[in-house]
Amino acid sequence: MKNNKKRGYFTAAVLVCLIAFTSCKVTSQEPAKKDIVISKDLKWSDKMALTLMKRHPEAYMIDDSKAPKWDYVHGLVLHSIEELYKVNPDPRYPVYVKGYVDALVQNDGTIKTYELDKYNIDMVVSGRLLFNIYDKTKEEKYLKAMQLLRKQIAEQPRTKSGGFWHKNIYPNQMWLDGLYMGEPFYAQYTATFEEGKSLDDVAKQFEQIQLHATDPKTGLLYHGWDESKAMPWANKETGNSPNFWSRALGWYAMALVDALDYFPKEHPKQKELVKYLNDVSASLAKFQDKSGLWYQVTDKVGKKGNYLEASGSSMFAYAFAKGANKGYLPAKYKKLANKAFDGLTTKLIKVDADGGITLTQACQVAGLGGTPYRDGSYDYYVNEKKKDNDPKATGPFILAALELNR
């Protein structure tokens, strides 16, 4: 009887230990990102990256996603963290990026949640994350995933003049956003795997939007252009949407500086793209507020309801700084970029109790057409929701900080 009792006590003790060990194990496997310390002495680039990693322990959680999805905002932010790793080789950065890719890219190269037949050009940009991972691992699945996105580009519906439709559901329309979503990946792919044979086609996308969407008076580009002029938002003579949206212009400027990375100086289209960058930068500089920032509706400076917006301002700071660093733009644009970054850090950044940072006044989303219908009016843009630390602002903020060494 005594032996049975002893056995019972021993079994219970073992069970208690096992339960304790298991709970400890589970706890230790919970994302270590909670332990991230964000020192006030860090550069802004690291502060923002670590803030995002702390608040979104798995990279797919960026933008408050509940499950992994292939999406352009993840591509944007994680590309900025890849670039940050080149300057500060913190081993946590590539692990975070690869975690996102591996949650979505399957062994056969298919991508979870990605639907090629929607021909949504937004879905191409996250493919930029695959180049580096494939280069490091040589795993075939990453190459196949890139080839799948290249297939979308090959089949993407086009305007009669050769410009990519923004999505299958937006026929005959080019949006400024789409230049960033498609061209840097397209340029890198053709430079890496095709000896640059399609760089002329990359340039054609910029040529088309430049030709059709540029306002002769301000030099700014309208958010969207409908070749058919059939959309209610489209001007019946030009096909353009009615307003200038800073984030759309930011996508365009970033697309130029990033795509240019893959155009050799001797390429016949390189100078043309550099000219487009100079033209749009000169136009944007005229509308920079004394704070260093830009308004949500770019040219309506100080108009009632308009506000100084974080994503467009971060994008312009990045494009100006990179353009100057690469020699595409005059040196004065580096000063304008620093002025913009000063505006972001003094006017729009809040420092949280844990040392993390929050970038405020970011437009959450804006588009044209669709359901519910978006008419591209001034009131539409200034009344869209705002979101703190929206990824369309945080990614460019990191990129701008890197170019400015801040």
Token pair, residue 231, equals: 């959309």
Q: Is the alpha carbon torsion for 168, 173, 174, 175 positive or negative?
A: negative
Annotated catalytic residue, options 177, 201, 299, 390: 177
The β-bridge relationship of strands 349-351 and 357-359 is antiparallel
The distance from CA 382 to its chain's CA centroid, rounded to whole angstroms, is 21
177 is catalytic: yes
Please confirm whether the linkage preceding 242 is cis (ω < 30° from 0): no
Q: Contact at 8 Å (CB) between 79 and 395?
A: yes
The SS3 assignment for 105 reads strand
The count of C-alpha atoms lying within 13 angstroms of the C-alpha of 378, restricted to the half-sphere facing its C-beta, is 11
Q: What are phi and psi of 48, to 5 degrees?
A: -70, -45
- b/e 351-386 (16+ beta carbons within 10 angstroms → b): eeeebbbebbbbbeebbbbeeeebbbebebbbebeb
Alpha-carbon span 355 to 40, nearest angstrom: 6
The SS3 assignment for 240 reads strand
223, with CB counted inside 10 A (0-12, 13-18, 19+), is: buried
Residues involved in catalysis:
177
